[in-house]
Amino acid sequence: MGHEGEQDTAAFQAMLSWSRIGIKTLLIDDNPYSIMFSEIPKNNLFIKKITLENVEAIIQSENIDAITPIYGQKNALKIIKNLNKKGVLHDHNIKIIGLNADNINLFGGIKNNTEKMAKNSLLAGRLLENDIPILKTNVVSNFDELRNSINEMVFPIAAKAIKASKYGRRHIFQNIEQLNNDIYDLFQQSKDNKVALEREVGGYKEIGIVAIRDIDGTKMVISSLEDMNAVGLNSTDSVVFAPAQTLNDAQLHIIRAISFRTMDCLGIKGVCHIQFALNSNNNECFVIKVNPFFNSQTAIAEKATGYPLARVVASILLNVPISDIKLPPRFHKLTSILQPISDHVTVKMPVWPFDYLPNAINKLGSKAKSTGSSIGIGRNVEGAFMNALRSSQPSPKDVLPSYSDLTEDELINELIHPTDIQILILFEAVTRGYSTSDLSELTKIDEFFFVIISNILKQIKKVKNNPLNPSVLLNGSKFGFGTGMFCHYWNATNSKINRIAIENNIYKTYKMIEPTGGKFVEKIDSFYGSFEYESDTSQLSNHSALVIGKGRNHLGPNIAADVYTAEMLIHLHKLGLKTIILNNNPNSVSLIPSISDKQYIEPVQLGDILDIVKLEKPEYIFVPGNRHYLIRELNKLSNTKIVVLPPDQKKGSWKSSKADFAFDFLVSKDSINLITSVGFSSQDDNSHKNIEKQTDYFIPYKNKSLNFNHLLDNAILEIKKHQLTGLIQVVFSLNEKGQATVSGVSPLRITETLFLNLATHINWIAILMKMYTGHFNIGEVEKLISNVNFNDKIIVMQTKFPFNSLEISNGIKNRSLEIGAEILYK
C-alpha cells in the first residue's frame, strides 16, 4: 500500500543513463509487474526474492563495483545495512552509492531495546547533534521514569503503548493530570510494560521538501510540497500541492535551510525527501521523516516541475557534480544547476480501495490506505484541483457525487473524522455555508483551501444558472471543468458543447511542463492543458499513435496495466510510429519521458481525449478494454482507428466458472498458435475451483493422466467459434473423475500477459503491437515459440493482497482485489 511504479520509473531512467556510458547494471527483483524485466539484459537480471542471502549470493558470483538502495526503499536500506555490518561490502570492495557508508546504519529501521516505536535512536541522535529540530521520543517503563521525562517535554503529549497486545492507538494528553490518570492503562496494554511519549504536533502543517545533493556538497531544492491535511493523517492519503501554497518566504527559508543541514549531516548523495511539521503561527518546525530514496513524493516533484530528477540523480550517484551534468539537447544547458521555477500548480489526489472492500475501515489516519493517486496541473490552483479531482473519480462523465443527503451531525462527524470521501464532504460543507474559519477549526486544514473550494462552487453555480453561455464555458474550463460537467448541467451533448466552443473561438491550448518558468527556451515533450491564447505545442506527426493510459490505480491489475501500456509505447516506437501518451498517474512508468515522444498529463476523460485527438490527428488510438464508455463514444466521434488494448475481458464466453488449467494461444486472422499451458491455484480454500479465486498461476501445467492433444483440438474448436484475436486463453476444469472440459474462452488477462512474457522470454506485447499495426509475421512468431524451453522448471506467480495493510482479517482473495505479485521458481 502507498507504493506504485515510482521506484521502477526512477530505476529505469538510471539504467538507461548508465548503459549509455557502458556501465553494466544488475537488478534483483521478484516483481513481475516491472518495466525493468523486459528492458534489462537477461544475464543481468536476477528474478529472486530480495533477501540478504540472495543479494549476498549475487555479490559472490558477480564482479560488482557499487550497490545502491535508493530504488528499493526501506527493504533495500535494511539489506545493504546488514551487508555492510557483516563486512560483505568491504570484503568485495563494493561502494555504497546514494548514502555515505559510515551513515548507512542510521537508516533501515534499526531496532534496539526500545523497539521501533522509539524511532531510530541512531538517526535521532545524529540529527540532534547537528541541531536539527526533531520530535524526541522518550520511552518510559514506570512512574519514576515518567516523572523524569515530563520535565523535558511540552504539552500536549502523545503517548502510545509499545508492542501493544492489540492495535495500539495514540492517546493525546493536554496536561499532567490527564496523563497521570491514564498512563497505568497504557503500561498494561504494552507487552513490555513500556510507553512512548512524544510531543503532539497534530494540527501542524505537513510540508515536504524534495532536494538533491552531490559529491561536492552542492544542494538544490527541486520542489516544496504541502499536504492539505495537517500532521496526523498519512501524507499518502492527503491531497498534496506542489509547490507549497500557504507558506511565506520566511517559512520556506527556514525549511530549506534545515533540509540542507539534514542532508549534510547524513552524508546523503543523490535525492532526499524530508517531511516537516510546521506551526505556521510561530514558525516552529520539526523534521518528522527523512527518506533518502525515490518515493511517491519525489515522483510528484519531478512531474510537477519538469526537472529531470531521476536522470540527474543517476549522474550524481556516479560522483558527477551537478554543475558538470550534461542533459539531452531538449533541455537548456543550465537546467541541471538551476532550482526549478513553476508557472503552474500541481495537485495530487489520493485514490482509495474502499468501494471494492466494504469491510475495510475507511477512516483515515497515520497509516496509509490509498492504492494510488492522480494529479492535475493548471495555471491556477482551482484548475489544477479540479483536474486532479476529476481524474480521481470513477465516473467517465466528469460528474462529482453529491452528499447533500447527510444530516448535519453526520456531516460534522465526517469533517472531524475524515474518510475516503473527505474532499466531497468539504465541498458539501462549503455549499451549506460553513465559514472557512469554522471549517479550519474542525479539520485543521488551512482556510486557503476552503477559499479554493468556495471559488470552484461559485463557478459551478454560474454554470448551472447560465446554460449554453460561451463566456461561462470558457471560465468554467479555466477552472478545470470537463466537457462532461457542462453536458450534465446543461443537458447537452458533447457535440453541442464542442460546437459552442468552436463558434466562439474557445480552444484548449497546451503548456510545456518545464523547470525554468519560461525563462529559457526548452523543448520538453510534456504538456498540460490550459485555455490561454498561445500553445507551446503543435501536431507531432502524421504517423502517430495516441495511447490512453490507465490513470488512477485501484485494486486489481492496475500496476500491471501501466507496465503493459509502457510496453506498448516502447514497441510502437520501435515500429516507426511517433508515440503520444495521455495519463495522470504521477507514479506511472508509462510517463517516463524516454519511452514516448510526447506526454500529456490530463484527465483521462472523453472531452480531454477529443481535444488531444483534434490537435494530434493520430493514426491509431489505443484504449484500455475496460473503458467501455470511452470506446463507444470515440468510435462515434472520431474517424481514427481505435485499437482496444489491453483487451476487454467481457469479450470472453463462459460455460462454467470453474478453472483448473488453461492453454494460452496467439490468434491472428489466419492462424492459431499454442504458446503454453498454465495451471491455477488458490491461496484460500477453493474446493469449487471458482476462477475468480484462482489467484496464483504456474507455467507449464503438467498432468500425465490427460490427453493434451485431444484437449488442444477442443480448445482450437472453441476459439474458432468466437471472433477473437490476440492473446487468447481457453480455460478447462476437471470433474470428479479427472476429466477435463472447456469452461470458457477469453482474452488473456493483463497480469497473465506479463507473466507469460517472463515465463517464455518472449515479449508478447511487442507481438501484439505488430499484429494491430500491420507488421505481423507469423513465421517469426512460430520460430520464437519453438524455442521456448522451461528446462523442467515451473515458474509461479503468486498474487499479493492489501488485507493486512487495511487491517482486514477475513478478506476473500480473488483476482479483482490484488495489489501486486511475486515470482518464484520450483
Which H helix or E strand runs over 574? helix 558-574
Residue 378: the pLDDT is 98
Backbone angles phi, psi at 41, to 5 degrees: -55, 140
Contacts of 243 (CB under 8 A, 6+ apart): 223, 224, 225, 226, 304, 342, 345
CA angle, 768 then 773 then 776, to 5° = 60
CA nearest neighbour of 210 among 586, 735, 571: 586
Q: Which residue has the cell 500500500?
A: 1
Residue in the structure block whose three cell numbers are 527518506: 291
Contacts of 266 (CB under 8 A, 6+ apart): 99, 100, 103, 106, 126, 290, 292
Q: Across the 826 residues of the chain, what is the mean pLDDT of every consecutive 10-residue run?
A: 79 94 94 89 91 96 94 88 93 93 71 40 89 90 85 86 73 88 85 87 95 97 98 94 98 98 96 97 95 94 97 97 94 93 96 85 89 95 97 77 94 96 97 97 97 98 98 97 94 95 96 91 93 95 96 82 96 97 95 96 94 97 91 88 90 94 96 97 86 95 94 96 94 94 96 96 96 95 93 92 84 90 92
- Architecture per CATH, domain 136-199, reads as 2-Layer Sandwich (3.30)
Q: Which class in CATH covers the domain with range 375-492?
A: mainly alpha
What residue has cell string 494491430?
772
CA distance 441 to 428: 17
Gap between the Cα atoms of 272 and 259, Å rounded: 9
Residue 59: other Cβ atoms inside 10 A = 18
Domain at 6-106: CATH architecture: 3-Layer(aba) Sandwich (3.40)
Would strands 620-623 and 641-644 be described as parallel, antiparallel, or unpaired? parallel
Instruction: With beta carbons less than 8 A apart as the criterion, state whether 642 and 624 touch.
Output: no
> Could you tell me how many helices (H) and strands (E) the chain has, helices first?
26, 30
CA angle at residue 605 from 604 to 610, to 5 degrees? 105
Cell of 535: 500553445
Query: What CA–CA distance (Å, rounded) separates 769 from 570?
Result: 10
Q: 589: which residues sit within 8 A by CB, 6+ positions away?
A: 5, 8, 9, 12, 35, 562, 563, 566, 595
> Are residues 234 and 368 in contact, defined by beta-carbon separation less than 8 angstroms?
yes
The set of cell numbers assigned to 529 is 492543458
**Beta strand pairing call for 544-548 and 578-583:** parallel
Four-residue CA torsion sign, 411, 416, 419, 420:
positive
From residue 602, give the alpha-carbon distance in Å to each of 262, 386, 475, 539, 803: 36, 11, 18, 17, 31
For residues 98 and 270, is the Cβ–Cβ distance under 8 A?
yes
Q: Cα–Cα distance between 694 and 532 in angstroms, integer? A: 52
The secondary structure element, H or E, covering residue 314 is helix 309-316
Cβ atoms 732, 657 nearer than 8 A: no
Q: What is the pLDDT of residue 115?
A: 39
Tell me whether residue 506 is exposed, middle or buried, using C-beta atoms within 10 angstroms of its C-beta: 0 to 12, 13 to 18, 19 or more: middle
Q: Can you tell me the distance from the alpha carbon of 37 to that of 556, in angstroms, rounded to the nearest whole number? A: 21
Which residue is associated with the grid cell 460553513?
Answer: 434
Write down the H helix ranges in 684-734.
708-720
pLDDT at 116: 42
What cell numbers appear for 818 in the block? 490484488
The pLDDT score that the predictor gives to residue 114 is 37
**Radius of gyration of the chain measured on its C-alpha atoms:** 27
How many angstroms separate the Cα of 20 from the Cα of each of 14, 164, 693, 797? 10, 52, 45, 32
C-beta of residue 679 within 8 angstroms of C-beta of residue 660: yes
- pLDDT score for 695: 94
Euclidean distance between CA atoms 99 and 801, whole angstroms: 32
If you search the block for the grid coordinates 495537485, which residue do you land on?
A: 347
Burial degree of 212 (CB within 10 A; 0-12, 13-18, 19+): buried
- State the Cα–Cα distance between residues 747 and 766, nearest whole angstrom: 16
Q: Residue 64 has which C-alpha cell? A: 560488482
Contact predicate 579/598, CB 8 Å: yes
d(CA 292, CA 550): 29
> Please, what is the end-to-end C-alpha distance for the chain in angstroms?
28
Mark out the alpha helices in 444-539 (DSSP H runs): 447-465, 470-478, 483-490, 494-503
Burial class from Cβ neighbours inside 10 Å (0-12, 13-18, 19+) for residue 360 reads: buried
Fold of 650-825: D-amino Acid Aminotransferase; Chain A, domain 1 (3.30.470)
Separation of CA 172 from chain center = 33
All structural domains of the chain with their residue ranges: 6-106, 136-199, 375-492, 650-825
β pairing state of 620-623 and 544-548: parallel
Determine the Cα–Cα distance for residues 494 and 473; give it in Å rounded to an integer: 13
Whole-number Å distance between alpha carbons of 305 and 210? 11
3-state secondary structure 218-283: CEEEEEEEEEEEECCCCHHHCCEEECCCCCCHHHHHHHHHHHHHHHHHHCCCEEEEEEEEEECCCC
What pLDDT is attached to residue 167? 57
Find out whether 554 and 540 touch, Cβ atoms under 8 Å. no
pLDDT given for residue 118 in this prediction = 39
